[in-house]
A and B are shown apart, each in its own frame.
Chain A
Amino acid sequence: MDQQLELLLEIQDLRMQRRELTDGSTDLEAEVFDVKIEDAIRLLDEKVEELAERLARGIRDRYRRIADKAPRVVAPVINGICYGCFVAVSTARASEADRNLRVESCEYCGCFLYHVG
């Protein structure tokens, strides 16, 4: 897998974790797991920023443009469908071995694409 894509994937998973902490699992995390929500959010923000700084210039610029507007920066592609916009993406033509070997974006919604499965 492309290393930049791997970074983007990690960033996306952490952003998801952050979003869920404020909107979804807040009570569960605080009450069952004794997570200090504000501290956790701060840690996640710091980690996301640290990873974003490791992105190559062009990809980082694109990442920031998407990240400012939408919660999702990387969309999974499952069976050729971009799950950011639910449109079939042309990159689905790529053979399985070629998948995730470079950073690609959805031409419709702009999300970076990660082929799953």
Chain B
Amino acid sequence: MQLRELFVPSAINLDLAAETKDEALKELVSCLGLDGKSEGILYKMLKRRENLGSTGIGRGIAIPHCRSLVVTRLRVAFGRKLSGLDFKAIDEKPVRYVFLIVAPPLEVSNQYLPVLGKIAQFGKEADVPESLAELSSPEQFIELLEAKDL
């Protein structure tokens, strides 16, 4: 399974309205099309994961992630906030690119950790922050993943 096959255009937001980390988490969770109750539970779990340590891995990239019973399959979303969000990232720099990954406790294909690892690796590539800044459509985001053979 390629990374790009997991991203649907409706879960790629290149202009987040969020002004804070919490708002960004909420906005990305709302891209997944869950019911309100499930959204609330998922948001709470993501916050709890952030309490263990920020998922801001540096260079403007954050990867909030968790498993939860409220989803039935692996779901991903991408959000961009060019003016930056305070994510308490490892390098203390503002976060501009947020990759959300959520998975159910049990997955037939066990993709959650490999996907998390792949996105983390992608985020560490030197040219990625600049490429993400230049995107002008969700389709270009998919093309970027394709160019990286992801």
What is A's interface to B at a CB cutoff of 8 Å? 1, 6, 9-10, 12-14, 16-17, 20, 24-25, 28-29, 32-36, 39-40, 43-44, 47, 72, 74, 76, 78, 83, 114, 116-117
Contact = CB atoms under 8 A, between A and B. Distances in A.
Contacts of A28: 113, 116-117, 120
A16 to B, nearest CB: 5
Interface in B34-64: 37, 41, 44-45, 48-49, 51-55, 57, 63
B53 A34 contact: yes
B105 interface: yes
B26 interface: no
B99 to A, nearest CB: 12
A16 B63 CA distance: 19
A50 B117 CA distance: 32
B105 A43 contact: no
Contact of B51 (A34, A43, A76, A83): A43
B34 to A, nearest CB: 10
B72 interface: yes
Contact of B52 (A24, A44, A116): A44
B48 A14 contact: yes
Nearest to B71: A116
A40 B57 contact: no
A43 B53 CA distance: 11
Contact of A17 (B49, B90, B120): B49
A43 B113 contact: no
A40 B106 CA distance: 22
Interface string B82-114: 000000001000000000000011100000010
A47 B116 contact: no
A117 B38 CA distance: 10
Contact of A20 (B45, B63, B67): B67
9 contacts: A17-B48, A25-B113, A33-B53, A33-B54, A35-B53, A43-B51, A76-B106, A116-B69, A116-B71
Contacts of A76: 69, 72, 104-106
